[in-house]
């Protein structure tokens, strides 16, 4: 017997195709078990695939499960933004609501919706970040892997669902010029039990204030095009280290040019409650059905 599941593929953090981070969304995931979801995620072979479900908590508008090709994540940024966009597009949430609540393994996360139709912008609040004091023991390994000098004071471990090694490279030109050793980076991530390494630097010209790159070689993603959770982790890092003043409470980050993308993440840090929000546009490229046969 074949089950037909509504299916989307869209680019997140871009207002046109081929510039954002691709995401696969299965819209009718009721009844799918974890193993089947993981197998679908391996089949789509994207950095993440999400599955939309009815909420289990009354305060939530919808529920999402997020999978890489290897594992389920409690939270990820571009899957959360893209899933909210898909839920609105397919009428899975009340039409016209400007405020939604996403249920995921990381908890209940506020979602703000600005605009309508293709111009719609989605802003998702990231889970609170836990920041470990320096990661001095990683400095030499990371410096060798990135082929760039590093100050131990500029490295932190930030956990906001996934765990990131965050490195401040100071200048965007340094960030954009990196040619990492991915095998060595994977080893550093394994040592730190981290999903990946994200680096950032100040952009002096152009529409963005920051250049970002994120490397997840242990997930078979040498470089992720545009990464919401990494950008939220960077904002938490700046907030904790007093570096936010260089960028402001609201700033724009550029990510993806080095892999042929040109994504844009809007980052906001609440000056009162310290909540971090990441947002952006989406562009749908594929609408169709996933024809799921009995795969047991």
- Cα(150)–Cα(174) distance, integer angstroms: 11
DSSP secondary structure string, 231-293? Answer: HHHHHHHHHHHT-GGGT-SEEEEEE-GGGT--EEEEEEE-TTT--EEEEEEEEEEEEEEEEE-
36-45 CB contacts, 8 Å cutoff, 24+ apart = 36/292, 36/295, 37/65, 37/67, 37/72, 38/67, 38/71, 38/72, 39/295, 40/67, 40/290, 40/292, 41/67, 41/68, 41/69, 42/69, 44/9, 45/69
The two structure tokens encoding residue 287 = 């609408």
End-to-end CA distance of the chain: 12
Q: Are strands 276-292 and 250-255 parallel, antiparallel or unpaired?
A: unpaired
User: Which of 48, 219, 223, 266 is the catalytic position?
Assistant: 48
Instruction: Reply yes or no on whether 48 is catalytic.
Output: yes
Known catalytic residues are 48
């Amino acid at each position: 017997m074949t089950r037909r599941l509504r299916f989307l593929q869209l680019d997140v953090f871009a207002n046109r195709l081929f510039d954002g981070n691709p995401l696969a969304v299965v819209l009718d995931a009721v009844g799918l078990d974890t193993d089947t979801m993981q197998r679908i995620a391996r089949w789509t072979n994207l950095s993440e695939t999400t599955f939309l479900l009815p909420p289990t908590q009354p305060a939530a508008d919808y529920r999402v499960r997020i999978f890489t090709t290897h594992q389920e994540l409690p939270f990820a940024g571009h899957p959360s933004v893209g899933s909210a966009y898909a839920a609105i597009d397919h009428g899975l949430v009340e039409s016209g609501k400007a405020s939604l609540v996403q249920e995921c393994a990381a908890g209940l996360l506020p979602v703000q919706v600005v605009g309508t139709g293709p111009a719609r912008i989605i802003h998702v609040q990231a889970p609170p970040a836990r920041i470990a004091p320096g990661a001095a023991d990683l400095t030499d390994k990371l410096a060798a892997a990135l082929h760039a000098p590093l100050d131990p004071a500029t490295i932190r471990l930030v956990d906001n669902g996934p765990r990131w090694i965050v490195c401040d490279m100071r200048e965007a030109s340094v960030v954009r010029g990196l040619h990492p050793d991915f095998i060595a980076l994977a080893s550093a991530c394994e040592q730190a039990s981290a999903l990946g390494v994200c680096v950032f630097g100040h952009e002096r010209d152009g529409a963005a204030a920051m250049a970002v790159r994120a490397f997840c070689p242990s997930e078979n993603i040498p470089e992720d095009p545009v990464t919401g959770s990494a950008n939220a982790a960077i904002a938490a890092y700046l907030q904790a280290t007093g570096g936010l003043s260089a960028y402001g409470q609201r700033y724009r980050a550029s990510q993806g040019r080095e892999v042929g993308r040109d994504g844009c993440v809007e980052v906001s840090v609440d000056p009162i409650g310290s909540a971090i929000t990441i947002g952006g546009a989406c562009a749908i490229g594929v609408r169709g059905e996933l024809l799921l046969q009995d795969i047991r």
